Amino acid sequence: MSAGVELDHITVRFGDFTAVDNAALDIKGGEFFSFLGPSGCGKTTILRTVSGFLEPSEGTVRIGGKDMRGIGPNRRPTALIFQNLALFPLMSVAENITYGLRVQGVDKATRMRKADELLQLIALPGQGGKQMSELSGGQKQRVAIARALCVQPQVLLLDEPLSALDLKLRQHMRNELRTIQRMVGITFIYITHDQGEALTMSDRIAVMSDGVIQQVADGKTIYDEPATAFVASFVGENNPFAGTVKEANGSFALLDTRFGKLRGRNPRGLKAGDKAILFVRPESAQLTPGAADTTFTSKVKSVAFEGNMTHVFLEGAGKKDITVTVGRHNGAAIPEQGSVATVSYDAELGLALPEGKMARE
Amino acid sequence: MSSRLVVIAIPFVVIAIFWLMARYEASRRHDPTHKGYFERNGMVLGIAFIALVALWALFLVVLPYLYMVVESFHPTLRPVERGGPKDVLTIAQYQSFFMAPTGDGWNTTHMGAFLFSIIASIAVTALNFAICYPLAFYMAQSGTPQKVRLILLALIVPYWVNEILRAFSLRLLLASKGLINQLLMGSGLTDAPVDFLGINVGLYVGLSYAYLLVMIFPLYNAIESLDKNQIEAARDLGAPWWRIHKDIVIPYAKPGIASGCTMVFMLAAGSLAAPQFLGGPRTLWFTSVIYNFFFQAFNWARGAAYAFLLLAACILFVMLMLRLFKVSLGETIK
Amino acid sequence: MTSSLVMRGMIGFYIFLFFAYLFGPLVVMGITAFNSPSYPQAFPFESFTLDWFVKLWNDRAMMEGLTNSIIIGLGVVAVSVPAGLAASIIMNQIYHRARGLFYLVTVSPLLTPGVIIGISTVIFWKDVLGVSDVTKALFYNGITLAILGQSSFVSAYCLLIFMARLTRFDRAQEEAALDLGASYPQVFWHILLPFLKPAIVSAVVIGFLSSFENYNTTTFAILADKTLVTVLAGQVRQGTTPALSALAVIIIGISLLGAIVYEVLKRREQSRAEQAQRRAKLAERTEVGAAQPATSTA
């Protein structure tokens, strides 16, 4: 049983500081939806507003169509997985998992049965009697999930649950979470600052920065068609070329940049004279010359061989280097450090976006 | 009686003022995290908490103090006379502290007792500081954790014995037939027993002994948090040991020192047991004066006035300490 | 290098002196408990006797005082521990501008001379309870007043103990419980109170001991009744026998026993925690290579 979540123009202010600015979106029931953004962007605030720990200064939250105003966190059909898990250290595994049933007054026998069921689900059969201090990090994660699922929420909220785990475990848990979500079928709202997580697990992603939702789309769209300069620079690696639009039509725009005139797609309808940034992804660039308006040159600062890829770092316009990434068996010659290299790209793979704040390095 | 009732109203007025201020602020600014008091605790618990705290803060602390202060401004009356025409506000009780009962001249007995108590308490405070500082320093800086735990335990055990018994044990030691006099006479150092108790040595030792623990704990805690490297650095730069203490350790440990000194002073000045059992026959301790007003003269109003004077002296001392050491009240409560 | 040796010797000598000062009187008193002369005497040691312990047991006034002390102690704990707990919880919720004053008021009994607490308790409650003969007869007695007077500062001890424990509380647990559907009272009983259990135990023990050994306040509040401590005081004033020394020996014996028991329990708890940690580390290592969970084969 799952429900959709509607954020109806939510604004949350703490005194003079606006943490979330006019957030409006619809999360479909049964979706795996992620909020992606750097720390301080407002994603935690949104999560706490949906779960009921914060009342929005403006706007409403609706879950399953019902207005949640004035309804406290203990009466909402949501369950939250905390960043530090917040498992109850004085209770056993089974007691933790079935706590939600205990507060409803369910009798002990039923609770124990439910605990066994869920312990099977999270692959910890028979471990109900263990204490929290005896569990590993990954096991604690699974107990936290079981505890939340036990109350059969319509929406499961996850607050960066994997950030405290080490790399191998994190990748393992990514698959687990996705599998569990598909099995149980409830809406997952997941917040993270790790784009890898967001891209691999989610049906749709909302990218946030400074309290504002920059774009809401599925992973591929976010990656290939970023809507703003922030999204383009935050998700994946991207080379920005700042400049002014010289010519533009519906499909393409020609920018005047420090590296000459460069052309790219124009999905946002930029006009001549607009300030814009042309984005070219490292893997979209080649170390061979191409058409005049999609080629530039720059001095090679360093070359990094990373096994299946090689990264070539060239001098950029400002502090940021230009990165070109070529596959192992690409064929083109890797230029030497200090030499001047020619870089080109396919105009279809260049993207011109209005000037805006980019992600911090 | 009406003056007493007015006093009772004061705390309620203060509470009302704060409550109104809180409501005003809440209505002005929207706080997303705000939850009402009864919402947060539930009705039953919310009421229970308020009731308990009100009982304690109002009826066990604030109202009795205020009531005592008011009482000190009333004349000494027999039970039937209370509430009658003679029951008026007066500073006669306070005057009696300064003026002799016969009407002319100063009340040297009581004023003398007061000054003696204060000065002796300061002396005891200084004495305890001198005794405890080296041990606190040693414990904090060079002791291993096990050693420290052992020393702490050894410090605490004597204090589980009641202060009265401790005073008693000191009296045994210092009496004319006590062990110390036996040693002195036995080894030929003196011919006649030294009247330790009469010359108040017993009193000072007793007071100091009673409050050693109170001085050493804050000192130890304060010094313990000092980074050892600072002392090493100073030694490296060639500072002699007394400069290290004067310039580095003591300034850092100021809150602990202020805390310890304040507690020792207040406990000593307000002490009842040690002066009663260890004081010489001619010494008069201020707290004993108060005690006598209550249990011998049944003059509660006067006792209350003197008690308030004692309280005022303590508060003044505390504020002096805070100012002198430039620490705030919160830091010393630790 | 001799200067550091001299330094070390001086420190050792100082420590010896310090503890001689601290323990000396008690040791001497302990000896007098077993010595036969009727005036407490340590030297010369005439003959070993346990008579004084027997005399102690037969002292009616002492026994009555002991009973009262226990009753008062229990009463004080019953009032102070809940009061301190309530205050520590309210401290975080109170209007922020009032917090300083609230803290000052609740902690002030610790800074006030016990004498003043005793006096003010008697003066205030005499009038309040004197309002009607019924309340006067029921409540105006030494035991009740002693409980009321002592509770003012014992509650402050409890408050500090609870506040210290509360700072270590992970608020996220409270939120987790709420999120799972618990009401606020349920959060209090299921989550907060179990967490505070060690503090509650400390508060009860410290509260009871503080009440038991209190003299300054009790001596005023106890009116015509007696506690063990006031009986002691009376006897010391009038004339003493080694029976008092015997009492001191008993008290020291009990405290030493208590300290040993505490140390043993603490060591056991530590080893248990270490074992649990070891098990967790083992689980961690076998974690990542573990068999796939039931879910992924669906």
Retrieve residue C104's tokens.
Answer: 């000052």
> How far apart (Å, rounded) are the C-alpha atoms in residues A118 and A2?
18
CB C217 within 8 A of CB B145: no
Measured between CA atoms, how close is C224 to chain B, in angstroms?
11
Same domain, residue pair C175 and C79: yes
Residue C296 has pLDDT above 60, yes or no: no
Same domain, residue pair A83 and A24: yes
Residues in contact with A237: Cβ distance below 8 Å, sequence separation at least 6, in sequence order: A281, A282, A323, A325
Same domain, residue pair C33 and C168: no
Contact between chains at C181 and A172 (C-beta distance less than 8 A): no
Q: What is each CA distance from B325 to B254, B313, B321, B331, in whole angstroms?
A: 6, 18, 6, 11
Same domain, residue pair A290 and A159: no
Look at residue B2 in the predicted model and tell me its pLDDT: 67
CB A222 within 8 A of CB A215: yes
C154: contact with B, CB 8 A cutoff: no
Based on its alpha-carbon atoms, the radius of gyration of chain C, rounded to whole angstroms, reads: 27
Q: What is the tens place of the pLDDT at every residue in B153-179?
A: 777 777 777 788 888 878 777 776 677
DSSP assignments along B305-328, one per residue: HHHHHHHHHHHHHHHHHHHHHT--
B271: contact with C, CB 8 A cutoff: yes
- For range A104-112, the mean pLDDT: 92
Of B32, B35, B39, the CB nearest to A57: B32
Identify whether C138 is part of a domain: yes
Identify whether A359 is part of a domain: no
Q: Would you list the domain boundaries of chain B?
A: 2-72, 108-333
Its domain, for residue C89, covers 74-225
B141: contact with C, CB 8 A cutoff: no
Question: Residues 80-139, chain B: which have Cβ within 8 Å of C?
Answer: 131, 134-135, 138
Q: Identify which of C153, C106, C116, C217 has the alpha carbon closest to the alpha carbon of residue B309.
A: C116
Least confident of A257-261, B322-326, C269-273: B322-326
- For range A334-342, the mean pLDDT: 89
Residues in contact with C60: Cβ distance below 8 Å, sequence separation at least 6, in sequence order: none
Measured between CA atoms, how close is C298 to chain A, in angstroms?
8
Q: What is the tens place of the pLDDT at every residue in B68-101?
A: 888 888 877 776 666 666 667 777 777 777 776 6
- For range C261-280, the mean pLDDT: 83
Look at residue B331 in the predicted model and tell me its pLDDT: 53
Look at residue B329 in the predicted model and tell me its pLDDT: 58
- In this complex, the chains that touch B, judged by 3 or more CB pairs closer than 8 A, are A, C
- For range C256-275, the mean pLDDT: 83
Its domain, for residue A270, covers 229-354
Contact between chains at A80 and C170 (C-beta distance less than 8 A): no
Q: Identify which of C215, C182, C246 has the alpha carbon closest to the alpha carbon of residue C33.
A: C246
Q: Are strands A32-36 and A187-192 parallel, antiparallel or unpaired?
A: parallel
Name the phi and psi angles at B175, rounded to 5.
-65, 170
- H or E element in which residue A158 lies: strand A155-159
Contact between chains at C178 and A133 (C-beta distance less than 8 A): no
Look at residue C297 in the predicted model and tell me its pLDDT: 40
**Bridge partners for A8 per DSSP:** A60
> How far apart (Å, rounded) are the C-alpha atoms in residues A275 and A242?
8
Tokens 């720059």 locate to: A298
B289: left (phi over 0), alpha (psi -120 to 50) or beta: alpha
B53: contact with C, CB 8 A cutoff: yes
> How far apart (Å, rounded) are the C-alpha atoms in residues A174 and A201?
7
DSSP helix/strand/coil, B197? coil
Name the phi and psi angles at A12, rounded to 5.
-125, 120
- In this complex, the chains that touch A, judged by 3 or more CB pairs closer than 8 A, are B, C
Q: Identify which of C80, A329, C244 has the alpha carbon closest to the alpha carbon of residue B164.
A: C244
User: Which of the given ranges, A29-43, B264-278, C12-26, has the highest pLDDT on average?
Assistant: A29-43
Between A233 and B253, where is the model more confident?
A233
> How far apart (Å, rounded) are the C-alpha atoms in residues C258 and C248?
15
Residue C293 has pLDDT above 50, yes or no: no
Count CB-CB contacts under 10 A for residue A193: 17
DSSP state of C192: I
Q: Tell me which of A188, A203, A224 is where a domain ends.
A: A224
Between B250 and A246, where is the model more confident?
A246
Task: Give the rounded distance of the alpha carbon of C30 from its chain centre.
Answer: 24
pLDDT-derived band at C295, boundaries 50, 70, 90: very low
Same domain, residue pair C161 and C51: no
Look at residue B151 in the predicted model and tell me its pLDDT: 78
Look at residue A31 in the predicted model and tell me its pLDDT: 94
Least confident of A220-224, B214-218, C71-75, C293-297: C293-297
Identify whether C12 is part of a domain: no
Give B-chain residues touching A56 at CB under 8 angstroms: 32
Identify whether C179 is part of a domain: yes
Identify whether A152 is part of a domain: yes
Look at residue B101 in the predicted model and tell me its pLDDT: 65
Residue A330 has pLDDT above 80, yes or no: no
> How far apart (Å, rounded) are the C-alpha atoms in residues C33 and C243?
7
Residues in contact with A171: Cβ distance below 8 Å, sequence separation at least 6, in sequence order: none
Look at residue A22 in the predicted model and tell me its pLDDT: 93
B28: contact with A, CB 8 A cutoff: no
Q: Tell me which of A185, A209, A224 is where a domain ends.
A: A224
The count of CB pairs under 8 A between chains A and B is 17
| Counted domains in chain C | 2
Look at residue C298 in the predicted model and tell me its pLDDT: 37
Residue C247 has pLDDT above 90, yes or no: no
Q: What is the tens place of the pLDDT at every residue in C87-122?
A: 999 888 887 788 888 888 898 898 888 888 998 898
Give A-chain residues touching B34 at CB under 8 angstroms: 55
Cα Dmax for chain C: 90
Retrieve residue C196's tokens.
Answer: 């505070």
Residue C289 has pLDDT above 60, yes or no: no
DSSP helix/strand/coil, C190? helix
> How far apart (Å, rounded) are the C-alpha atoms in residues A350 and A254?
11
Q: State the average pLDDT for chain B.
A: 79
Tokens 């904090």 locate to: B140
Measured between CA atoms, how close is C180 to chain A, in angstroms?
5
Q: Identify which of A86, A131, A141, A85 has the alpha carbon closest to the alpha carbon of residue C273.
A: A131
**Cis amide leading into C82 (omega within 30):** no
Q: State the average pLDDT for chain A.
A: 90
Task: Give the rounded distance of the alpha carbon of C232 from its chain centre.
Answer: 20
Residues in contact with C102: Cβ distance below 8 Å, sequence separation at least 6, in sequence order: B57, C87, C90, C91, C94
Look at residue A121 in the predicted model and tell me its pLDDT: 85
Contact between chains at A138 and C296 (C-beta distance less than 8 A): no
Same domain, residue pair A149 and A285: no
Contact between chains at C180 and A148 (C-beta distance less than 8 A): yes
Same domain, residue pair A188 and A219: yes
Q: What is the tens place of the pLDDT at every residue in A79-102?
A: 999 988 899 999 999 999 999 999
The listed CATH number (3.30.930.10, 3.30.565.10, 1.10.3720.10, 2.60.40.3080) that belongs to domain B108-333: 1.10.3720.10
Q: What is the CATH number of the domain that holds C98?
A: 1.10.3720.10
Q: Is the dihedral of CA A233, A236, A238, A244 positive or negative?
A: negative
Q: What is the CATH number of the domain that holds A241?
A: 2.40.50.140
> How far apart (Å, rounded) are the C-alpha atoms in residues A55 and A70?
8
DSSP state of B245: I
Same domain, residue pair C86 and C213: yes
Between C17 and A225, where is the model more confident?
A225
Look at residue C123 in the predicted model and tell me its pLDDT: 86
Same domain, residue pair A16 and A154: yes
> How far apart (Å, rounded) are the C-alpha atoms in residues B240 and B259?
27
Of A74, A86, A172, the CB nearest to C170: A86
Same domain, residue pair A168 and A47: yes
Same domain, residue pair A128 and A236: no
| Counted domains in chain A | 2
Same domain, residue pair A93 and A206: yes
Between B65 and C37, where is the model more confident?
B65
Residue A233 has pLDDT above 50, yes or no: yes
- H or E element in which residue A323 lies: strand A322-327
Residue type, A18: T
Q: What is the CATH number of the domain that holds A42?
A: 3.40.50.300
Helices (H), C94-132: 99-111, 114-129
The whole-model pTM stands at 0.82
Q: What is the tens place of the pLDDT at every residue in B102-121?
A: 666 677 788 888 888 888 89
Look at residue C294 in the predicted model and tell me its pLDDT: 43
Helices (H), C140-192: 142-166, 171-179, 184-187
Q: What is the tens place of the pLDDT at every residue in C194-246?
A: 999 989 998 998 899 889 888 889 988 888 888 888 888 888 777 667 777 77
